[in-house]
Amino acid sequence: MVLKKRLDYGFNGYQIPVIPRAPRSVRRRVPHKKLVEDHQICAFELLAAVAGKLLQESESSASSNASEAKVQSFSHIDAIKKERIEENKAFRSECLDQGSCVESAFIPELAVQEHNFKSTVEDHPHAENDSLLERTSIVTSSDFSKKVDCDLKLGICSNKNADGNFPCKVTGGSHILQDLCNGKTENAAERKIGNQVKWTEELTVTNTASVKDPIEKRMNSKQLINSDSSVQLSLYRDPVPRASFPKHRNHVNVGIRDDDDNSFGCNKFSTKIRAFRPQGRNGYRRIRRMLKSKYWRVAPKLRDCEVSNTSEGMRSFYRNRKSIHTRDRYQHEAPSKRRKLCNRSFVVAYDQEASSESISNCPEEGEYSRSGAIRRKAIEESKSVKVHKKQKGSSVKFSIKSFKVPELYIEVPETATVGSLKRTVMETVTAILGGGLRVGVVLQGKKVRDDNRTLQQAGISHGGNLDTLGFILEPSFTQVTESPNDSPQPLQCDANQKLLGSPASPVLDSGPSNATFDPPPVTKIEKQCESKHDIVISPRIPVDAVTDGAGTDSKALVPLPMVSAEALAVIPMSQKNKRCETSQRRTRRPFSVSEVEALVEAVEILGTGRWRDVKMRAFDNANHRTYVDLKDKWKTLVHTASISPQQRRGEPVPQDLLDRVLSAHSYWLQHQSKQHGKHQMEPLQIMDAQGEKFET
DNA sequence: TTTAGGG
DNA sequence: CCCTAAA
């Protein structure tokens, strides 16, 4: 018997909220939108973080130089660091737009050291002096959780201005930037635009000979750049003010790679913040456009300096691609299929690891570009390991402070909560860690491949080069796919981390590749190579970083790969694009028990004909689960429940859940016919707390 | 776009 | 999971 339809929440059994099924057209309009007021991570915030970073950098640089401006409060910096540590996440933003040369600026945090700077320049002899910083790392921080309604744009000119400085510009935004700047908006212009105050701040990257105070902030001219809530980090290559910035929105790289949100755990809680069809058509289209360009976004960034390496880069790229495909097919779905899922999401183009050299190491005359252009890190292996070694007798003692997780690609809706983001990252990380990672040992920049050698034989002894010992995480199948002779050094960790003044911060870096912020105050800069193709590639594909341990003094952990990630990306991207657009089957993502449970619960309440609602109710945060997926899953669940346990495969689903599936299925089946001609169906059967069904 | 089903 | 006809 069908129980009362309106059951109050708190009822011990199913809640059967009566949700009259209005015509689709009507339902569609129901403003289910639970606006996310807080904790919304949006591009703006990320950008704001970057901007703040930049400013901080400026300040800190200035402060380090006694003769420079007054020291500002660094509280916000601390906050950021703290946050970073806490979240272990780095967000990178990248501006991508068709044909535009938008580039993100890297906001370094490390103290700049001259030698770093030099090495940078030297390592990239081909770099064009015209190129700009291209990397941006943003740390997500609760401090930035405020919602910013307008745009923030950061632009850094590659050319010096009359003063010999590099103009930077941060525009738009409301309060965040200002907050981050600790009120240093003296000269910022404030204007009312609609209901918002936008302001622009111009910064100048000083092209000082002294590496120590590379950046000088200067605020003067204001410029308003308006855009529809887009975040842009632009780098002008041209000193001449641009008439406009390339436009694109919501492209924020989160630095995580899995494109799905696996945080289904919280799905069933209606309390979570959800955006019910958050964007309108425009947003939708926008997303689509975005998706279309998803694969080539890297292309526009190709720099001259990187071209020189194109050939080789391509080769390795393809090699990797090939292996990847055999092992893990491309995961991005065809744009046309995921539009909604991707709506208003941050898309991680790929990990643009900012090398510490970027902005902070302001290169000298015309060298600017070199330093920034090539810093790319091998995405795959973005592990950042900190090893704390202690010598003890003839044994070697290690203390790995942390490993950076290999590339992650995560896509989350802007409306996702920070908490869900954390969960997503966690799940992704977990998945990756459990998906075949292995640890590699690197000594003096070279991989120690022979597992049978003793540490002593390998030169890892207390009397040896412990300083150059590092550990890396790499795909376990790397060896198989990689050419035998290659000695890819995907990533490397700094075995030498002496825990520089950081006993207090044991957690120091552990986020996914965020070298930018990771570096402890006085750390050496990690040079990492990166290859852009990751975007498309499975996170675990290692890139053959061309590295030679040559001059590995303890400082340069990883030789800079000469392979230009961008170069690699250029062509491949387009190809991938095609590939993806055509037909890339999504990766299989078996439903977990908890997901099944959420699904069952939702179906019990909503019925079997309202997958969209089910999706929103229980899987709103799981962007990788479409309503079709849920429908299909339900279908299989019903099937599974009707076969003998022996015939079932995959992760076993608790029998009680299957029972619920059957009962709900039959209930709704029956109900369906009834409702056909009449009112709304009565909600379904009810079950008691024990999950036993009541008789209908 | 969402549903409903077949493949 | 994909593909699609229908709605």
Contact between residue A511 and residue A404 where contact means Cβ atoms under 8 Å apart = yes
Residue A130 lies in a domain: no
pLDDT band at A512 (very low <50, low <70, confident <90, very high): very low
Ranges A216-220, A442-446, A676-680: which has the least confidence: A216-220
The owner of tokens 């501006």 is A95
| Nucleotide C2: closest residue by CA–C1' | A585
Strands (E), A279-340: none
A608 beta carbon to strand B: under 7 Å = yes
Using CA atoms, how far apart are residues A508 and A514, in angstroms rounded to an integer? 11
Beta-strand pair A231-236/A152-157 = parallel
Domain that holds residue A653: 1-18+591-696
Mean pLDDT (whole number) for A116-144:
31
Residues 6+ apart with CB under 8 A from A149: A44, A174, A195, A196, A229
Most confident of A4-13, A195-204, A329-338, A593-602: A593-602
pLDDT band at A631 (very low <50, low <70, confident <90, very high): very high
A583 beta carbon to strand C: under 7 Å = yes
Question: Which nucleotide in the DNA or RNA is closest to residue A630, CA to C1'?
Answer: C1
Contact between residue A420 and residue A426 where contact means Cβ atoms under 8 Å apart = no
What tokens does A427 get? 């799940």
Convert the pLDDT of each residue in A254-310 to its tens digit.
333 333 333 333 333 332 223 333 333 333 333 333 333 333 332 222 222 222 233
pLDDT on residue A463: 66
Convert the pLDDT of each residue in A380-403 to its tens digit.
333 334 344 444 457 777 777 766
Ranges A151-165, A187-201, A645-659: which has the least confidence: A187-201
* Tally: H helices and E strands in chain A: 18, 10
pLDDT on residue A632: 92
Angle of CA points A494, A377, A262, to nearest 5°: 95
Question: Which nucleotide in the DNA or RNA is closest to residue A616, CA to C1'?
Answer: B2
A647 CA to B4 C1' distance (Å)? 26
Q: Does position A595 have pLDDT exceeding 60, yes or no? A: yes
Q: Which amino acid is located at A113 in the chain?
A: Q
For residue A549, give the H/E element and its range. Answer: none
What tokens does A403 get? 């490993």
What tokens does A222 get? 């204001």
Contact between residue A607 and residue A684 where contact means Cβ atoms under 8 Å apart = yes
A28 beta carbon to strand C: under 7 Å = no
Residue A661 lies in a domain: yes
A592 beta carbon to strand C: under 7 Å = no
pLDDT on residue A445: 72
Backbone angles phi, psi at A437, to 5 degrees: -90, 155
Ranges A18-22, A178-182, A605-609: which has the least confidence: A178-182
Residues 6+ apart with CB under 8 A from A658: A637, A640, A641
Total number of domains in chain A: 1
Residue A156 lies in a domain: no
Using CA atoms, how far apart are residues A107 and A515, in angstroms rounded to an integer? 11
Report the percentage of chain A scoring pLDDT > 70: 21
Using CA atoms, how far apart are residues A234 and A241, in angstroms rounded to an integer? 12
A344 beta carbon to strand B: under 7 Å = no
Question: Which residues 307-366 in chain A have a CB closer than 7 A to strand C?
Answer: 333-334, 337
Convert the pLDDT of each residue in A423-469 to its tens digit.
877 777 776 666 666 777 777 777 777 777 778 777 777 766 677 77
Residue A295 lies in a domain: no
pLDDT on residue A539: 32
Using CA atoms, how far apart are residues A623 and A294, in angstroms rounded to an integer? 17
Q: Does position A5 have pLDDT exceeding 60, yes or no? A: no
Give the rounded distance of the alpha carbon of A231 from its chain centre.
Answer: 15
Q: Which amino acid is located at A665 in the chain?
A: H
What tokens does A547 get? 């590295």
Residue A48: Cβ within 10 Å count: 31
Contact between residue A493 and residue A523 where contact means Cβ atoms under 8 Å apart = no
pLDDT on residue A285: 35
pLDDT on residue A582: 52
Q: Which amino acid is located at A34 in the chain?
A: K
Residue A608 lies in a domain: yes
Residue A639: Cβ within 10 Å count: 12
Most confident of A59-63, A236-240, A338-342, A468-472: A468-472
Give the rounded distance of the alpha carbon of A419 from its chain centre.
Answer: 15
Of residues A232 and A421, more confidently modeled: A421
Most confident of A213-227, A579-593, A671-685: A579-593
A639 beta carbon to strand C: under 7 Å = no
DSSP state, A496?
T
- Give the three-state DSSP class for A21: coil
Q: Does position A603 have pLDDT exceeding 50, yes or no? A: yes
Give the rounded distance of the alpha carbon of A10 from its chain centre.
Answer: 38
pLDDT on residue A208: 28
Question: Which nucleotide in the DNA or RNA is closest to residue A27, CA to C1'?
Answer: B2
Reference A320, options A471, A540, A527; nearest CA is A540
A276 beta carbon to strand B: under 7 Å = no
pLDDT on residue A111: 29
Using CA atoms, how far apart are residues A536 and A318, in angstroms rounded to an integer? 12
Using CA atoms, how far apart are residues A579 and A596, in angstroms rounded to an integer? 32
Residue A686 lies in a domain: yes
pLDDT on residue A407: 59
pLDDT band at A607 (very low <50, low <70, confident <90, very high): confident
Question: Which nucleotide in the DNA or RNA is closest to residue A24, CA to C1'?
Answer: B2
Which nucleotides in chain C lie closer than 7 A to a protein CB?
Answer: 1-4
A140 CA to C2 C1' distance (Å)? 36
A635 beta carbon to strand C: under 7 Å = yes
Q: Angle A593-606/A611-618 helices, nearest 10 degrees?
A: 130
Question: Which nucleotide in the DNA or RNA is closest to residue A609, CA to C1'?
Answer: B3
A628 beta carbon to strand C: under 7 Å = yes
Residue A630 lies in a domain: yes
User: How high does pLDDT run on average in chain A?
Assistant: 44
Of residues A420 and A316, more confidently modeled: A420
A631 beta carbon to strand B: under 7 Å = yes
Ranges A177-191, A469-483, A589-603: which has the least confidence: A177-191
A623 beta carbon to strand B: under 7 Å = no
Question: Which nucleotide in the DNA or RNA is closest to residue A624, CA to C1'?
Answer: C1
Look up the CATH number of the domain holding residue A607. 1.10.246.220
A24 CA to B1 C1' distance (Å)? 9
Using CA atoms, how far apart are residues A147 and A176, in angstroms rounded to an integer? 8
pLDDT on residue A630: 92
A667 CA to C7 C1' distance (Å)? 24
Report the percentage of chain A scoring pLDDT > 90: 2
Residue A525: Cβ within 10 Å count: 28
Q: Does position A198 have pLDDT exceeding 60, yes or no? A: no
Question: Which nucleotide in the DNA or RNA is closest to residue A583, CA to C1'?
Answer: C2
Residue A690 lies in a domain: yes
A669 beta carbon to strand B: under 7 Å = no
Contact between residue A555 and residue A525 where contact means Cβ atoms under 8 Å apart = yes
Of residues A182 and A388, more confidently modeled: A388
Most confident of A243-252, A527-536, A646-655, A663-672: A646-655
Mean pLDDT (whole number) for A181-207:
30
Give the rounded distance of the alpha carbon of A447 from its chain centre.
Answer: 28
Reference A298, options A589, A101, A587; nearest CA is A101
Mean pLDDT (whole number) for A512-518:
30
Of residues A248 and A57, more confidently modeled: A57
Convert the pLDDT of each residue in A637-657 to its tens digit.
999 998 888 888 888 888 888
Give the rounded distance of the alpha carbon of A192 from its chain centre.
Answer: 33
